[in-house]
Structure 1
């Protein structure tokens, strides 16, 4: 039935409503029919209806005075079922899949009514055949989006009332039984809850009686309490405050609480976070304990995109452990300074500045470690480096400041600074335009390097003592070294590589050593020779220069053995022999000034010493060689590979297997010595067996025999016991590291299934032919995958021996033996349970070493973890359950007992 004063269309209508005002004309319509009345026209397309006012319809308004009901833009409507216009009440009714878009407002529901007289849009769901309400309203306004049971919205004042609303704000979800949206876009809520759980029925929530939502800022509630699985906890809060700003915001960092046996109750990691701007922030955290310990830890971060980024941290802690006035009481004041700075390579392509500083007092990690690694570590390195290219990128300048610290021994090694400059290899005789055959001298090259250092080796206590006394600069060791290398490579007989080189080194120092004999008595008689050597360090510029020449020959010899039958197809042996000759003149003569002497009356002779080494002073780049040296060095390198048949490789059919990666034999002969001219024979090798086991080998064999005091003598070992060499030391090492995971196993299965799918499926007599073809074409769909897991197994065996020869020829062999096995991995017992482990076992001592177990449970919006270290220095356990959302990072329960409490 069709009512008067209504226009009814179905099944799908889209309308554009333009100034739908003051209409009183009576219209009639049948289904799918448009009736023209008066001068108002309704033009309907196949899926749309457009309503417009004709020119002859006169509405008199004062010019410049818009109607109070006038719309600012077009209202777009969509209805999947039906749409009804009631011109008398100036309303539109839409059913099933209704949508309205006006300005930045979007409403969806199964029932929507627009009252143009009151400027109100209402929406709600409709019951289906079972009586369940479906098509509940969805409201969108800019970034605001929510679903609800019922909406009444005034699109002119932008105010509205929403019932049973659920909306997402930041990382959380808000629910309110009745919500009033205000004109300033804030909302007042009554009787609702807030949660970060995305489940339709949240596992936990914070319930409240009233709340206010300030978009992109915060949610403030009144009296609130926590409910878990619909069970309220006996914990109330006077109010709740949840930041929902999209960017970073400043605020208080809630501390964690607990108890330690030796420091009492505590509040840790609490403080304030200050978001200064988009480029930097500051966080100040602190710890406090009831037995007097405390710490403050400010950290500053900065970042400028495409320029640089970094952070600075300073930690100061006062630790009081044990009961006062007892032997167990300890008190220490410790600090830690960390600074990192990384320059973006795009900022300045020809230069860079980077810093990584980590300096701390020796006891800082004992009481304030961030992780287990921090507690176990005792060596730390810091560096600040600036690097730039000079001379049209032909030169490279590097300036470094470095620190190496051992908190266990207290040792410090500081470079402040170290400087290096190098030039690219220059070819002074190389033609710019090569024509004809290359001349031998065109490959002659020149290379220059310069290095400078200012360093000190001391302890942290002595360093502070020097600093307080103002004598720190006197304990630095410094120097400059210039190196020039001229090199000329060439080939002889096509296969022999010959390289001739000249090396010049010049060292500059600002201190040197002087030694003299000093008698202990002022009135020493003729037979009173008691005294000592006095060593003085003299300030002043000195230099030490030396040079050497060298020539080397090398080539490669290939041996190939082919086999026609069997799995083994070929064996290839590559031998790389090389011989080199180097000569260094004698710079120990007094005329050079690098060596001086003094008379020792107890020995009745002059003693020669180097001006670069003595007492507490040792030149940073060493001294000048004291004697002439003519060294002939020999080296033979070996590499062994085999080629075997590989059925999986359908293209080549073979694969290479390395048997010996490298096996070297080396020794040298000094022509300028008067005895003991041969140096020990050194052997070293490495290989990888089955692509799993790394094997390394090293040994040293001496051709000379020893005397009764264990000293080398100028007699070959062969003359003593018919052996060519006497073993000095040997070392073997076998290590294995193997990883296996569900993904790797899956890959193996896929390859195997791909290779065998046709044979396995088509030859099977089970199922129909179509089913067998489907299995053959899609094997991965029929594999039973295990839950994800991975495991890594490590094995290390190191055997070594040092040989000591006694007075009567007896040999004492001192073996060294390291034998360990380790395993680490994790297993998903179920999709929500994960167990991880890391354990090490010393097979030599037959005991466990560092072992740790971790259990993790995914509780959807929560997570639970348990960590247990049953033994060792880091023995302890920790249980924690917390909310996943970073917004509620302080909503957690922690119970632990760490290594400091045992």
Structure 2
């Protein structure tokens, strides 16, 4: 019985010792094949199957000896014990049953699934669950640690004497931290003192102590702050933050920025989600700034929330509000620093009568002019075009009759809008107050409008001989207003119009059997429309706001003519299955209108638009040298151009082109393979325990590829009211990425006002891959604001091992 107890205790204590290891470590001597003895043969006379499970315990050794007098069990030569998923290997083992202690001699490997610990001369106390391991090494959260002596001193707490720690996965690490004393809190952090940082076995820095978080997943705690200095804020400590996760539903971060010259800032961030119910995020900040001895208290709030209410109903909220733009003056986010308007909204959507009812509100801040536009509330409902006969009955199949082509549509909208030009508005100013400046009767302080609009349409669609399309109908529009321009309350306005439209398509195809371009198809679509509107000049007394308006023009019969042209291309080699298509590679559109009832200059403006969209092309590979080539070279291009003509100013010497707008974009990208002539030997000696594959051979060189790691893109736009060579605005934007090698990359972006010759903004980025570390240097300039940042961080623990500095200011 004591023999059985000895083996059970041996397995349990060594398995317990395994639990205080983290992951893999190395072993030079691999387990050897040995004779196997069944435990039942040694203890057959005292077998007690009530507690032990012999089918889960296996051991092997060259020889086994049990000293009955001293109550000790000895295993010699390539010992191996396996209990459930745990496996222990050593040169020799023995168990002192009376002292309840276990000992191993020589190299010892303890393994549980993919966790491995390497050491020598294990001493383990079964009762206290404490032990000592000499010359130990292991892996912890993608990092490695070693020590002359490792001791388990408590639950999940281990002390390491003369230890080292690294995240480098090379067999000969390029860097490590050494400490006379290390304490490892398993699954939480590593604490050491005193600490020396080594690079290529050369000491580079000394720390009195350090703490490195290694806890995985979401867990509460303080984040690492960012100290620094810049000329605007002086000395600062940013992101003094506390993080708290609430189950699997939410994250909350409370942070504080302390700035020597400009005050302090308090922020609260939160992200939350409950699947199939709601999700959103929230960010609020309060900034107390001191600039030129003037104290300002500013705050900002940004939030988004989406809520599923059941039965396809949804509620969405978007809040984007600041008290003053000062709060974002030193922001590193270009969208915040250059913002001119902020909008907040609330919307509710609910299915109704095969459509949706929408109710919402908007609040828009004009940060440049310091005023507010709001819509509070607004509601809309629309029925899309549907056959008229469905109002009376709904057949199982679509009706094929002339009267089935009658369709109707309906829409209703309720809107209340407001304009507030008061820096400190009251509650009534946001909801109903209408005020003029007492010192200037032409200046509006607050103005509000409310109304309801109905739109009803009836149309008839038919096709003559299967190719000529006709559509005619009548639209009715009615609005109710809280007041008109004459001051009369709750007034009604209405208007209607009738229309007739027709169109058809002409197709022309040209095939080229032996050419790379197999066929070109030309599609021409002429359109003609007539719209008649009676005289509704009496409606000029009504306001127009939100979606509430009425036609207030004179009697008109507008004739519109248009022609759309599209070209499509099919190209490639081989049969039809291998051919590619470019739909609408080129399109050209022209429009003109005329008021048939207008005697003086009845013709309207002629408009033209041209678009070229060939898409992207695969240019193949470009070999620059025997060792370097660009692979998967792709070129993409698109352009559009629009202009207008005044037909009464067109002459032989002047086409009267006006309103030119031209935009184009082009991008060129490729991936480049990089050869590593001096690959590092990885710390993979434990693969024999985890993978059992000894056929892998380290290559002399390795090749690495990236996806479009070389890219340049240009976007150009131009607008000219009269002549395109005298533009009113002319801009160029460029974005580039150049990865010169596997370790070096450069990015550059800019925005240039070509008309004024001003560089609006530009940014540089230099990235250096230092094997298991990365160095990033960035410089950004926007008008007179500049900022630079230098960051050195560990690839495995980027938040825990990060050193950075930044500065910003204005010229």
Tell me the TM-score range normalised by the shorter chain. 0.7 to 0.9
In the alignment, structure 1 residue 896 sits paired with structure 2 residue 809: no
Q: 1:880 aligns with which of 788, 791, 794?
A: 791
Higher relative contact order structure (alpha carbons within 8 Å, sequence separation ≥ 6): 2
The residue aligned with 1:350 is: 312
SS in 1 for 2:424: helix
Aligned position for 2:254: 284
Q: Tell me the secondary structure at the aligned position of residue 726 of structure 2.
A: strand
Return the match for 2:62 from 82, 85, 95: 82
Contact 2:478–2:550 (CA under 8 A) maintained in structure 1: no
- 1:105 CA drift (Å): 4.7
1:97-136 equivalence runs, <5 A? 98-102=79-83, 105-114=86-95, 119-125=100-106, 136=108
- SS of structure 2 residue aligned to 1:249: coil
- Alpha-carbon offset, residue 576 of structure 1: 0.9
Q: Which residue, 53, 73, 76 being the options, matches 1:91?
A: 73
Instruction: Please give the residue correspondences for 1:619-630 in structure 2 after superposition, counting only pairs within 5 Å.
Output: 621-630=548-557
Match of 1:407 among 356, 367, 381: 367
Structure 1 partner of 2:502 = 553
**What residue in structure 2 maps to residue 855 of structure 1?**
766
- 2:416, 2:785 → 1: CA distance? 39
* Matched position secondary structure for 2:336: helix
Q: How does 1:819-838 map to 2 (within 5 A)?
A: 821-838=732-749
Larger radius of gyration: 1
1:688 — aligned with what? 613
User: Normalising by the residue count of structure 1, what TM-score does the alignment of the two structures yield?
Assistant: 0.70
- 1:479–1:620 Cα contact (<8 Å) kept: no
Q: Which residue of 2 aligns with 1:333?
A: 297
Q: Does 1:699 align with 2:628?
A: no
Contact 1:732 1:800 survives alignment (8 Å): yes
The more displaced of 675-684 and 482-491 is 675-684
Choose from 471, 475, 489 the match for 1:503.
Answer: 475
User: Secondary structure, in 3 states, of the residue corresponding to 2:208?
Assistant: strand
In the alignment, does 2:288 pair up with 1:318? yes
CA gap of 1:266–1:672, structure 2 versus 1, over 3 A, is same
Q: Secondary structure at the match of 1:704?
A: coil
Q: Identify the residue that residue 711 of structure 2 maps to in structure 1.
A: 791
Report the equivalent of 2:698: none
SS in structure 2 opposite 1:369? coil
> Which residue among 219, 225, 242 is the counterpart of 1:255?
225
Residue of structure 2 in register with 1:445 after alignment: 407
Say whether 1:269 aligns with 2:239: yes
Label 1:19 to 1:436 Cα distance change in 2 as closer, same or farther (>3 A): closer
Note the C-alpha offset of 1:224.
Answer: 3.4
Does 2:368 align with 1:398? no
Q: Determine if contact 2:236/2:260 at 8 Å carries over to the other structure.
A: yes
2: CA distance, partners of 1:166 / 1:365: 51
- CA change 1:867–1:828 in 2 (3 A) is same
C-alpha separation between the residues in 2 aligned to 1:105 and 1:436? 71
Conserved in 2, the CA contact under 8 Å of 1:110 and 1:137? no
1:612 to 517, 542, 552: 542
How far off is 1:883 after superposition?
A: 3.5
Q: How does 1:34-73 map to 2 (within 5 A)?
A: 49-52=37-40, 57=45
Deviation at 1:496, TM superposition (A): 1.0
C-alpha distance in 2 between matches for 1:201 and 1:640? 63
CA distance in 2, matches of 1:284, 1:483: 50
Question: Is 2:257–2:266's contact at 8 Å kept on the other side of the alignment?
Answer: yes
Partners in 2 of 1:627 and 1:170 — Cα distance? 78
Deviations 1:381-425 (Å, cap 9, x if unpaired)? 33333222124xx02012222233343333433222322212344
Q: 1:466-513 deviations in whole A, cap 9, x for unaligned?
A: 448787654333322221222221112321111122212121221222
Q: Contact 2:660–2:721 (CA<8 Å) still a contact in 1?
A: yes
Q: Distance in 1 between matches of 2:554 and 2:91?
A: 102
Partners of 1:18 and 1:75 within 8 A in 2: no
Per the alignment, do residues 158 and 100 of structure 1 end up closer, same or farther by CA in structure 2, a change over 3 Å counting?
Answer: farther
Is 1:178 aligned to 2:149, yes or no?
A: yes
| Structure 1, unaligned runs of 5 or more | 1-16, 23-45, 127-135, 325-329, 515-536, 589-593, 596-609, 706-716, 747-781, 804-812
Give the deviation of 1:668 after TM superposition: 2.0
In structure 1, C-alpha distance between the alignment counterparts of 2:169 and 2:520, rounded to whole Å:
64
CA distance in structure 2 between the partners assigned to 1:562 and 1:185 by the alignment = 77
1:735 paired with 2:664, answer yes
Give the 3 Å change call, closer, same or farther, for CA 55–743 of structure 1 in structure 2: closer
Give the structure 2 partner of residue 361 of structure 1: 323
d(CA) in 2 for partners of 1:187, 1:639: 74
| Residue number in structure 2 paired with 1:714 | none
Q: Distance in 2 between matches of 1:282 and 1:424?
A: 44
2:536 maps to which residue? 587
Structure 2 CA distance, aligned partners of 1:225 and 1:56? Answer: 55
In the alignment, the residues of structure 2 paired with residue 377 and residue 241 of structure 1 have an alpha-carbon distance, to the nearest angstrom, of 40
The answer to whether the 8 A contact 1:293-1:320 is kept is: yes
Secondary structure of 2:598's counterpart equals coil
Kindly indicate whether the alpha-carbon contact (under 8 Å) linking 1:336 and 1:364 is maintained by their aligned counterparts in 2.
no
**1:520-573 Cα shifts (integer Å, max 9, x gaps):** xxxxxxxxxxxxxxxxx45x3222122222121111122344567766655433
Q: Could you tell me how far 1:361 is from its partner in structure 2?
A: 3.3
Alignment check: 8 A CA contact 1:670 1:677 kept: yes
Maintained 8 Å contact 1:479/1:509:
yes
Question: Which residue pairs with 2:626 in the alignment?
Answer: none
Q: CA deviation at 1:438?
A: 1.0
After TM superposition, the score normalised by the length of structure 2 is 0.78
Deviation at 1:255, TM superposition (A): 2.5
* CA displacement at 1:338 relative to structure 2: 0.5
CA shift at 1:54, angstroms?
9.8
CA-CA distance at 1:339 after TM superposition: 0.5
Q: Hey, what does 1:30 align to over in structure 2?
A: none
What whole-Å deviation, never above 9, does each CA across 1:712-752 have from its counterpart, x for those lacking one?
A: xxxxx7xxx678x9625152525132131216999xxxxxx
Matched position secondary structure for 1:356: strand
Distance in 2 of aligned mates of 1:435 and 1:862: 68
Of 117, 121, 127, the residue aligned with 1:146 is 117
Distance 2:657 2:111 in 1: 85
2:495 maps to 1:512 = no
- Counterpart in 2 of 1:527? none
| SS at 1:420 equivalent | strand
Question: d(CA) in 2 for partners of 1:631 and 1:364?
Answer: 51
User: Contact 2:162/2:181 (CA < 8 Å) preserved in 1?
Assistant: yes
Secondary structure of the residue aligned to 1:150 is strand
Unaligned runs of 5+ in 2: 9-33, 435-446, 617-635, 676-700
Note the C-alpha offset of 1:271: 3.1
**For 2:603, what is the secondary structure of its paired residue?**
coil
How much has 1:879 moved relative to structure 2?
Answer: 1.7
Range with greater deviation from structure 2 (86-95 or 790-799)? 86-95
Pair 1:560–1:727, CA change in 2 (3 A): same
Distance 1:300 1:868 in 2: 29
Question: Measured at CA, do residues 366 and 487 of structure 1 come closer, stay the same or move farther in structure 2, by a change above 3 Å?
Answer: same
Among 559, 572, 585, which residue is 1:632 paired with? 559
Which residue, 251, 267, 282 being the options, matches 1:297? 267
Equivalent position of 2:525 in the other structure? 576
Aligned mates of 2:565, 2:7 — CA distance in 1: 98
Matched, 1:379 2:341: yes
Of 155-164 and 853-862, more deviation after overlay is shown by: 155-164
Counterpart for residue 437 of structure 2: none
Q: Which moved more, 1:540-549 or 1:114-123?
A: 114-123
How far off is 1:641 after superposition? 3.9
Deviation at 1:146, TM superposition (A): 3.0
CA-atom RMSD, angstroms? 4.2
**1:163 Cα deviation from its structure 2 partner:** 1.7
